[in-house]
Chains A and B, each alone.
Chain A
Amino acid sequence: MKKRNEPKAYLYLAPAILIAAVFWWFPAAKGLVESFLKVNQAGKVLGFAGFSNYMMLFRDKAFLNSLSVTLRFILLFVPVNTLITLLAASLTRRPSRFSSIPEYIFFSPVAISLSAYSLLMKEIFRGTASVANRLLGTGSGWITEPAGAMATLVILGVFLDFGLDYMILMCAFRSIDRNVIEAARMDGAGGWRLFFQIELPLIRETVSATVFLALKDAILISAPIMILTEGGPYRSTETLMFYYYIEAFKSGNRAVQNALSSLVLIVATVAMAVFGSLRRRAR
């Protein structure tokens, strides 16, 4: 006689299903459906809208600006973040007597919260008369001018991801079998060749995982902008998700809000799926 497991199993799964339904499935589906409907400010459905909400979005200059800002941020942040964390990890990949000091320094950003780092950077890069200019000997206006604000945002983004990425990459380097490295050394491979032809290829899985995380963070960045620049100057740091936040919570524009949230969902899902399949193919 086989006992039925269904009631028991669903009892254990109920909390997870309930939370996933209320805060993931339901809002995503509702947003997707409503993005094709005419909805008034109060949320009342007035009729079918077809693609007109999306058309409205793509005619909106502020939206197009946020798209190009996000794209620029991705193109700057992802490579810079990857190269810097990889550099730090490779410089400390061999344990030595004092290596735990730089290791701790590189890991320490994990302990500092998003809002704390944002406030710190806001002060350090506050304008022409700033600590950053004093130390670097530059004369940039940083967060008070478009190019400088974007640069500051990239720097802040790197600090927010640095600690964790560094730890993952450094530990991946140290997970490489020592015999492989010794054998390569015996064959005369040293320095650059050992690094680029043996070690780096062996941890490429981990590197691509950190690139993936950076890409996701770059597509979705908004909270640091709220503290650092509030999208300015002249909308130069108004990313897609920041624009969404403004439209949804400040302007209360339901049509734009629904279309935008569905669009971001689709873009994020497609980006993750494409990247995932690229990784699988590279394996």
Chain B
Amino acid sequence: MRNRRPVDRVKFVTRKFLLAVLAAAVAFPLLYMLSSSLFSARDFNQIHILPETPVWANYIKALSHRHFLSYIVNSVGTALLASILRTAVIILAAFALTHLRFRGRNAVFAALVLTLFIPQEALLYQNYRTVASLGLLDTWAGIIATSLFSGAQMLLVMGSFMSLGHETYDAARIDGASDLMYIHSVLVPLSGPVVITVFIQTLITVFNSYLWPLLVTNRPGSRTIQVGITMLGFAESGETGAQMATITLISIPFLVILAIAKRKIQNALIRR
């Protein structure tokens, strides 16, 4: 490597330079988030990059915001509940569509896949009316109502179930195992990675969703953190630092999870 031709060395340096610039650009908002979470109002006004003197009180303000705890509880609660329910709904549907022969199978399958082509963003108002008329505004049920199914994830789970074959199912039936027992002790464990992927995907999607929870919640106590951080009132009262501290607090857990799970995700995505 040391005795490269000069042309190669120029290429090598150019590549590393481009990489450094791009990495710096991608990392900048995150670094600015960390840095500005310690800013005073003066730091924001004078457009500093680093705080003059770190204002740790921003974190105290963030944590003692009177709705912070309920925002977090609502976000974690709805995300967990939605993930559990959606995964269950999808597993049951995928089982019926892959393991049972029945009249109308193809029609039901096609109709469920059709949801893939209907973006819910275009149905916001209609779905809002439905949830409102069911009396679910300001409830966890209202927040998760539109997140309990996904056509794409159903296809993913069906693919995994189909690859397992019917022999084990037939054998289990002869041994007198019920469908639910078979799903619970054979199908789901054998499709582990796919089921976990569906669960985590849903968890992150619901936890990070903004528009729908914004529409179906009015009381501050029923809002989720993603809606909440835009309504903390810190920025308006000249305490942008406390807002940045709140954003930092909710981002760090996911940055840590990502650092731990990075290799696993990569291994799942690289096919050799």
Contact = CB atoms under 8 A, between A and B. Distances in A.
Given A13-B93, A134-B47, A222-B211, A23 B247 contact: no
Interface residues of B, number: 86
**Ranked 7 nearest A-B pairs via Cβ:** A27-B126, A171-B269, A111-B254, A16-B93, A248-B125, A12-B96, A113-B208
B126 A261 contact: yes
A16 B251 contact: no
Contacts of A159: 26, 29
A6 B103 contact: yes
Interface string B96-109: 11001111110010
Given A13-B92, A19-B89, A265-B122, A123 B102 contact: no
Given A9-B102, A123-B240, A223-B211, A23 B257 contact: no
A30 B28 CA distance: 46
B26 A220 contact: no
B95 interface: yes
B11 A261 contact: no
A9 B105 contact: yes
Contacts of A118: 230
Contacts of B128: 249
Interface stretch (B14-22, B56-64, B160-168, B185-193): B14-22
24 contacts: A10-B96, A12-B92, A23-B145, A27-B127, A28-B122, A31-B126, A87-B18, A91-B18, A105-B26, A111-B258, A112-B254, A115-B227, A119-B247, A123-B32, A123-B240, A124-B32, A131-B49, A175-B270, A223-B211, A226-B214, A244-B125, A265-B118, A265-B119, A268-B122
Say what secondary structure dominates the interface of chain B: helix
Interface in A110-134: 110-121, 123-124, 129-131, 134
Given A9-B100, A106-B26, 6 more contacts: A10-B102, A92-B19, A105-B26, A115-B208, A130-B47, A248-B124
A241 B121 contact: yes
B11 A191 contact: yes
A22 interface: yes
Contacts of B229: 115-116, 119
Given A105-B23, A114-B226, A5 B101 contact: yes
B202 interface: no
A16 B49 contact: no
A25 B113 CA distance: 11
Contacts of A54: none
Contacts of A200: none
Contacts of A120: 29, 32-33, 244, 247
B25 to A, nearest CB: 9
Interface string A155-188: 0000100100001100100110100000000000
A17 interface: yes
Given A107-B258, A112-B30, A12 B23 contact: no
Interface string A234-276: 0000000100110011000000010001001100110011000
A113 B93 contact: no
Contacts of B179: 8, 12
Contacts of A105: 23, 26-27
B141 interface: no
A273 B145 CA distance: 28
Interface residues of A, number: 84
Nearest to A20: B115
Nearest to A4: B102
B171 interface: no
A167 B269 contact: yes
Nearest to A23: B146
Given A108-B258, A162-B26, A23 B122 contact: no
A15 interface: yes
A104 to B, nearest CB: 6
A119 B105 contact: no
Interface string B75-112: 00000000000001110110111001111110010011
B250 interface: yes
A1 to B, nearest CB: 15
A88 B265 CA distance: 18
Contact of B243 (A87, A119, A268): A119
B156 interface: no
A103 interface: yes
A109 interface: yes
Interface in B251-272: 251, 254-255, 257-259, 262, 265-266, 269-272
A218 B231 CA distance: 26
B123 A107 contact: no
Contacts of B271: 175
A121 B29 CA distance: 8
Most buried by A among B89, B104, B226, B243: B89
